[in-house]
Each structure stands twice: as C-alpha cells, then as structure tokens.
A and B are shown apart, each in its own frame.
Chain A
Amino acid sequence: MAAALAVSMAACSSGNNGGNASPAASGGSSSAPASASASSSAAPSEKPLDKITVTFFNGVAGEKDLNTNETTIGKMLEDQTGVNFKIEHLVGDLNTKIGTMIASDQYPDVMIPDAAIEEVLKAGAFIPLDDLIEQYGPNIKRVYGPYFERMRADYGGKIYFLPFGPQVGEYAADPNINQGAFWVQRRVLKEAGYPKIKTLDEYVKLVEDFVAKHKDENLTGMLTLTHDWRFFATSNPPMHLAGFPNDGNVMVDIATNEAKTYAGSENEKRWLKTLNDLNGKNLFDKASFVDNYDQYIAKLTSHKVVGFFDYGWQIGNAMNVLKDAARKDQTQDDFVYFPLPVTFDGTHDQYLDPPGWTSNRGAGITKSAKDPARIIQYWDALLTDENQVLKSWGVKGETYEIDDKGRFYRTAEQIAKLDDAFNEKFGFKTYDWDWPQYGTSSTLADGNALAPGFQPEVFQMSLTEGDKTILGKYGVQTYAQMFDKPEDRPWFPAWSIPKEQGSPQQIWETKKDDLLKKYYAKLVLAKPADFDGVWADYMKEFGKLDTAGYEKWYTEQIKKVVEVAK
C-alpha cells in the first residue's frame, strides 16, 4: 500500500528541475525511479547490514544525549536498518555553536540547526536530498510529496532538509488546549452559572464581578507573562482577539493573503486599553511587568489569580500542579483553569492551530556525512505506518492495546507506567519530534490518531469528574470543542517563512520587541486619563520602524507560498 502511494505521489513531485516551482513543468521527468526505490524499501530486513553510527547534532536544547540504540524503539530501528544515531543536544548558545562549525567547515553527519538554519544553508553545509530521496525514499515521497514544491520553492529549487510534521491522513484535533486561550478559574464559571463567554468584554466583566464578590480573598483579576522571550504571551492577544491564529507578528487575511502587523494597530490599542482599565480598577497585577517566569508560574498555582491569557504549553507545570491537587481533592477543582475562546466581537475565533508546516526547521544531512544513503534509508524506514505506530504508540501489549474494533487504547496500568524515566528508556522521548515523521495531528490509515494524546479513548481516560462536569455543562467532549475549527491556511505558521538572520525583517522584529517591552508597561500602568497620551508617544516611535516594508515582504512571501500550494 505504501509503495502504491509513493508511485502516485512521485508524479507530482520531481527530479532536478532547478528553481522552477510549477508542478506542470516538473511532472514529466520522474516516474521510473519511484518504482525502483519502492521495491528497495522492502529489502532492509532481509540482507544483514553492517552497523554504522551516525552523529546527530540537535540545535534544540532539551533531551538527554544518547545513542538511539540504547532505547527500545531505537534498538528495533537499528535491527531494521543497521543505523545508530549518536545524538548531541545544544547546551549553550546556538549561533556560537553553529558559527564555529561553519567557520571550521566540520559538521556532524546530521543536523537540526533550528533557528540558525539559514546560516547553515548559506554555508552550503547541507547536501541536496533530491536524488537520494528519488533513489531510497519511497516513504519520504509518500509523506513529504505534497510539500516537495514548497520545500524547493523556499530554498532555491532543491530539498536540503526535511521539516517535521507533514500532515498525513485526516486532521486529528488536539483535545487539550496546548495553544493560546483566555483562561479562567473554574469556580468563576461555576458561580456565574456556566455562561457562554465569547467576547473580551464579557470575559473582563466575568473576572471583575467575581473579584468584586470575593473582596476579602485578595484576588488578582488578571496578570500577564512578560519575562524575557516569553513576552509574546502579552503581545500576541490582539491577533487572537481579532480572530486570527498564531502566525507570529502578522495577521493574514484569508481572502486577499495580505499580511498586516497588529503591533501598533487599533486591535493592540483595544487590548492594552482593556488591561489599562483593569489596572485602573486595581484588578491587574502590576508585577506582571517585572516578574520572572518562575514567579508567574507560582502565582498561577496560588489560587489567587482569576484569569489570564497564555499558551497551554507554557503553563504546563502550573496546570499539572493544579490538576494533581484536584485529582486528590474534588474541591480543588475550582482552582483549575478553563480555556475560553475570547475575541473582540465574539463571532469567530481561530485559536486552534490549523495543520501547519514549519518550513524553516528540520533535519538535514551535512557534507561531512560519510554515508548519506544509509541515513535517508533510515528516515525512510521510520516513515512507514508501522514504525510511526512504534514511535508514538510503542509495542502492542506493552504500551498500548487494540480493541476488537481496531481502535488503539491504553490501559490504566500502561498509562501509569509511562512516566518520564520510562519514556526516556523506551525512546518515546527521543522520537517524539526531531525526526522526519508524520505531523502530530495526523491520522493513521486505520483511523487511529497518530498521537495517543489525540485519541479520544485515551483522552477520555485522563478526565477527572470535575473535568467531565464542566465539559458537560458546555455540551462538549473535549476542550478543543469549545473553539472554532481552524481554517485552512497553507502558509501557517507564517512566522516559519524563512528570514535571514540580520535581514531587515529580523531587525524589524528585534526593534519592535524592544519598543513593545518599553511601552506596554507604560501603557497598561498609566492613569486611565493618560493612556491616549502615552499611546501617541508609542505611535510616534513605532512610526520610525519600516512596518510597511515588513508587511510588504510578508505579503509577497505568503502569496508565493499560496501559489506553490495550489
């Protein structure tokens, strides 16, 4: 089945036709090699392969350095392919590390240069993968085929690296809210009788009323997170409130594909004015602008904060603490936060990520690699349905079960077993990202979700009584159902459209961030009467930035992407 798919995909992918991005022009050159490689993909388990170790530098700090064959999954993949990866994660500054690699022209075999990818490409460190994929990558073609044109268009006509997360099969929504939302304590909704909260005004009123009713509790109405690079948690809401998903610094009109910044816009003014009003009423935590991330998280667990905006992935630790407490003691459920789809006008929200394609991140093979073919073969092997199940669900009977309808699920014991240490040993952690793989929201051919967390059966098991109650009150099964369905945006996320380091676009962003950091505090903490005056100062300084140029550049890029995606 996989091979058949690969052949059909090959028709619209292509060989080496340079920078020409038109699918029509590229169609003719390639159909024979596809079938040849499709047959070779079945081979690996038959002929014994000599074992090799490939060095792999991951520019994203985080997990443990290891050899993949020390993990259960990695060992099984080594048995199939004979390849072991020795992974090193970044520890210090990315640009420093990449800079020294480029200057000395010595690279690990495989690299994820993360934010420094433009520099790595400019240095010619990645080898083009087109021919290798043609020869050894039937599964790569099947999975990445729909994106090949885009990948080539982005980087001068060749494929130099494989981004993560191509969508495969039906779109499976994340039932939890890992992305942005306006959060509020559950007790607030309970006390108000579970009202539908759609607009910012409704949300603010809800918070205000609650604090007013609980004067003696010394509550904070709202706070925001501003620490260091996490400042976007305070500056992004205008975009979401206007009904757009997180495209970074721009809101992209879905009809005209025009990109507009929201910094310096009326939307931003409205958001800041709202915070300013809250502050005027003593409902906003002034320390928001000086607190560090740890202090912020501590406040979220203190039961004293009624509401805030943030991205789910950024508040995981605080949420876990609150949920743990609620699991042990029902009454603590009041303090767990609930996500709400708040917008300015209450009509249409786009908080949930549409299927995305982060085009400027990925793994590539460097010119230092001794055996690129083996690496491609490994990646290709990883992209079979079977191995995708292995890397995300694990081994049947051990880390998941299949019911008589063919649905994957996990038993309570299995769930309990999957702690950090186990995930590390088994390889779930190593393989959860950073490899060519199906996108998180992919669905397998048999209808099961690729990500266990996205499988309704698994999600339902994780719910407490309190969770079920509140979801029931709103007539939904998952948190995601509180939100509107994401619309299709081929460029999403726009922030991943490649920008050179030190380019005018990047400088604009750095300067804009500095300006926002300087003025947001002034605007929010100003006396309500002074707000307009401070806003005028802000606009004056903002006017010095070449925002029109930035928007123009972005619009052009987005149009290009849309063109390629057609």
Chain B
Amino acid sequence: MNWISIWAIYKFEMSRTFRTLAQSVVSPVISTVLYFVVFGSAIGSRIESVEGIGYGAFIVPGLIMLTLLQQAVSNASFGIYFPKFIGTIYELLTAPMSFLEIVTGYVGAAATKAVMIALIILVTASFFVELQIAHPVWMVAFLLLTAVSFSLLGFIIGIWARNFEQLQLVPLLMITPLVFLGGAFYSSAMLPPFWAGVTRLNPVLYLISGFRWSFYDIADVPVGISLLAVGVFLSACLGIVWWIFRTGWRIRQ
C-alpha cells in the first residue's frame, strides 16, 4: 500500500471538512436539537417510555444513525464526484496509485467526518437526556463499520452520478426513508405484526437495532443478525467497488 498517497487524499479531504467546519457541524447539531424538541419533548412526553427506556433516550441511537448514514453517504459521494465534476480527477487517474488506495483515502476521510459528527451529536444528546452505554466497544464498532460501509456506498454513488441531481437523489430518496422506517423513532414491536415483518426487509433496521443494543441492551433483532447485516452490506459495497476498479466504469474511457 502506498500510504503517502492515501494520506495525501485523506489530509486533503479532511482540510475540506475543516474549511467548512461551521456548516459541517452546526447543521447536524441544530437538526438534532430540533428532533429532541419535537420528538423528545413534544411527542415523547406522551409516549413516556419504550421497553423501559425514556422515549428521549430511546431515539438517540436512531438519531445518531440517521446523521451517520447521511453524512457518510454525502461526504464520500461529494468527495469523489467533485473532482469528476471540475475535472481534477485526471490527477487521481494519472497518479501511481491503485484504485484501492484511492478508495481508502476518500472513504477513510468520509467515514472519519461522519464518526466525528456522530460523536458530536452523542455529546449534544447528553445535554437533553440521561444516556447509558451498556457496550461501549460494540457501540464504537457499530459506528465505525456503519460509517465505512455507507461511505463506500457514497463513493459508488459519486462515481455513478452524472450530475448533482443524481448525487442528491439517493440520500434523499433512500437513506432518509430507510432510517425513518428502520425504527429510528420507534421499536418495531410497536407496529402491527404485518408491518413489523415488512420492516425486517429494511437493512437499516438491523443497524439501528444493533446500535441501540450497544446503548440499552434492548434490540428488535438479535445483535448477531445485526452484525451479519452490516457485514453483508460492507461486502456488497466492497464487491461493487472492486468491479468498478476492474472495469474502469464511468471513470476510465
């Protein structure tokens, strides 16, 4: 592995993050605060508790996942799409780097930023509700695995997108609905049996369930299944990235 080149991309991407630090950090923090005000206080005051956990605290893992997924996908997709759009991708393609190294640089930076923001939200949440983290190591593991997997997905979207609309389409049409329907704000046990079954088809349910388990030791699905789901998703993304690398799809004529 050519670590100097990977570091160059990583540093360059991270400096982009720090250049826009205010908008990178402020907007997720504000939206999280809004979720707490609306769901935690206004609605939550009527729900009281889910499976013995206060509603405000219950939604924290889901909220973090929502932001983590959005940030990972949008950072990575924008990170690789922008050089394509302004033409500077010629440098990446003529550099003595393997595609794996290029992916590592971009995905590493996107995942880092997503995890940073997830942690900021965790801290913000701690001002509103009493948090407990039952399995901190697993919490970090879920955070990292999910960030890397969805950054890979973002990278694929960035390579695939031919314009800015397509770039926005997937996060808007896929990520947000999947997170909302994946039990971010409720336990699937609260749904009628049919819909509880349908939500089992949603991959994000397994992520949120596993992540919530690492906080409160409660889960919609067994944690092993959650881990397996992350593993399958990660492998699928790696497979697609490998295929892009083999064929030069949409990057090399």
Q: Are A and B genuine complex partners?
A: no
User: Which A residues have a C-beta under 8 Å from some C-beta of B?
Assistant: none
